[in-house]
């Protein structure tokens, strides 16, 4: 199954754009600023969360419309005569509330995840290993979400309970212990599920990396560093024991919001953050491909790769395309010219993007 019959309406610089007859490889070419990444961003809204740019929805609505936007696509398969129509949109009077429809019925972003998994790699992610721990947690959560749509629900409910606990701890008045007990019970339940999801996806990626050739991409070694007890009852007890210390700090000092993804370069044993830019990029590509292999075994998987081939030599580009071909995912790529994509040119659907409009090549 794969996405086809994709429509963008009033999405950034795309007034009305339609892409038909998509294939396994799909290539968007054009100058910088033409609107290539905007199409990938639109597709990323078929996953729960804020999309590949982490922009607020109101920023995505094009100036040419009344303030709303819509993105639609059909999930099609040779094995199923009737496509599944997916849609996500906003309305002008509620520009930051995302609405979802599946086959015409109201649904949710989590509901989209039951049909489709989405992953992406963008130039902004090149600094992931040197970025904040929060950026790496979001990266892990996106990968976990692609394998388990309920991961988003646990993350959201944990964050809501965490905010409420921090608010109570920051008040001048002594918090009501009974109220704290209830909040901490929620944190323990959803925090344990959140930690389990993160640990599981990291473990599965390591298993996948072990069977993927180490060359020509550097092989990373991933591990999960928990920010607190990962068993619900233990976490709840630790939160109770830590109340006074947390109140002095006016925030919760333990829990999944303090988790860390630890990445080393195999062979060198060096922390990824201290490796060269090229080595970091190669490790990130290896992780994304390993995850795509996993995700494609569960539900239809779409992988969005923004300018991924621009700085790879011909050997690594060829290896990348071969591994993507074997992943089972539908691939969407962007580039300023076709030449770097010559190994897949004959099997790809290619569109030229210019000023928010497209032309099929």
Domains and CATH numbers, the chain: 1-116+302-361 (3.40.50.300)
Cα→Cα distances 156→52, 195, 253, Å: 18, 13, 19
Judge whether residue 215 has pLDDT over 90: no
Supply the angle between the helices 177-211 and 151-170 in degrees, to the nearest 10.
140
Return d(Cα 224, Cα 203) in angstroms, integer: 9
Residue-wise pLDDT for 315-326, tens only, equals 999 999 999 999
Residue 146, CB half-sphere, CA atoms under 13 Å: how many? 29
Mean pLDDT within 87-115: 93
pLDDT at 80 over 90: no
Q: What is the pLDDT of residue 79?
A: 65
Give whole-number Cα distances, 55 to 16, 111, 200, in Å: 21, 21, 28
The secondary element (H helix, E strand) that includes residue 184 is helix 177-211
Strand-pair partners of 120: 304
**pLDDT of res. 65:** 67
Phi, psi of 270 (to 5 degrees): -90, 145
Decide if 38 contacts 31 (C-beta within 8 A): no
Residue appearing with tokens 């038909």 = 20
The answer to whether the beta carbons of residues 259 and 225 sit under 8 Å apart is yes
The reported pLDDT for the residue numbered 50 is: 87
Kindly report, residue by residue over 159-176, the tens digit of the pLDDT: 999 999 999 999 888 889
Task: Considering only residues 310 and 360, tell me which one the structure prediction assigns the higher pLDDT.
Answer: 360
pLDDT at 302 over 80: yes
Task: Output the pLDDT for position 273.
Answer: 95
The tokens describing 274, both together, are 């201290």
pLDDT digits (tens, 9 = 90+) for 224-245: 999 999 999 999 999 999 999 9
**pLDDT > 90: percent of the chain:** 84
Mean per-residue pLDDT, 209-221: 88
For residue 91, the SS3 value is strand
Continuous segment of H or E residues that includes residue 278: helix 277-295
Report the chain's mean pLDDT, rounded to a whole number. Answer: 93
Element (H, E) at 245: helix 243-249
pLDDT higher than threshold 90 for residue 352: yes
Strand order in the sheet with 94-102: 14-19, 2-11, 69-77, 80-91, 94-102, 105-107
Least confident segment among 5-19, 58-72, 192-206, 254-268: 58-72
Q: What is the pLDDT, as a whole number, of residue 66?
A: 72
């Amino acid at each position: 199954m794969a996405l086809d019959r994709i429509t963008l309406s009033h999405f950034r610089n795309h007034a009305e754009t339609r892409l038909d007859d998509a294939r396994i490889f799909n290539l968007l070419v054009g100058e910088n600023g033409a609107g290539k990444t905007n199409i990938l961003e639109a597709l990323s809204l078929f996953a729960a969360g804020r999309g590949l740019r982490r922009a607020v929805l109101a920023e995505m609505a094009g100036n040419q419309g009344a303030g709303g936007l819509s993105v639609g696509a059909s999930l099609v398969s040779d094995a199923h005569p009737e496509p599944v129509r997916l849609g996500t949109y906003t309305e002008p009077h509620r520009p930051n509330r995302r609405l979802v429809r599946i086959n015409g019925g109201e649904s949710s972003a989590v509901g989209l995840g039951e049909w489709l998994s989405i992953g992406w790699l963008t130039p902004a992610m090149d600094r992931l290993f040197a970025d904040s721990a929060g950026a790496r947690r979001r990266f892990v959560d996106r990968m976990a979400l692609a394998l388990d749509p309920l991961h988003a629900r646990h993350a959201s409910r944990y964050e809501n309970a965490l905010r409420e606990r921090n608010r109570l701890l920051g008040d001048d008045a002594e918090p009501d212990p009974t109220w704290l007990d209830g909040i901490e019970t929620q944190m323990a339940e959803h925090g344990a599920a959140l930690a389990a999801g993160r640990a599981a996806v990291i473990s599965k990626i390591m298993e996948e990396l072990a069977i993927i050739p180490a060359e020509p991409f550097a092989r990373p070694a991933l591990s999960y560093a928990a920010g607190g007890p990962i068993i619900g009852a233990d976490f709840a007890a630790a939160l109770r024991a830590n109340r006074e210390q947390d109140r002095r700090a006016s925030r919760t000092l333990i829990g999944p919001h303090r988790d860390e993804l630890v990445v080393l370069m195999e062979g060198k044993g060096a922390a990824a953050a201290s490796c060269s830019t090229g080595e970091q990029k190669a490790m990130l590509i290896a992780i994304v491909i390993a995850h795509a292999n996993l995700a494609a075994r569960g539900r239809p998987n779409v992988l969005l790769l923004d300018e991924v081939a621009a700085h790879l030599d011909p050997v690594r580009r060829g290896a990348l395309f071969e591994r993507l071909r074997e992943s089972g995912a539908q691939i969407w790529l962007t580039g300023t010219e076709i030449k770097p994509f010559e190994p897949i040119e004959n099997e790809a659907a290619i569109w030229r993007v210019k000023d928010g409009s497209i032309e099929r090549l």
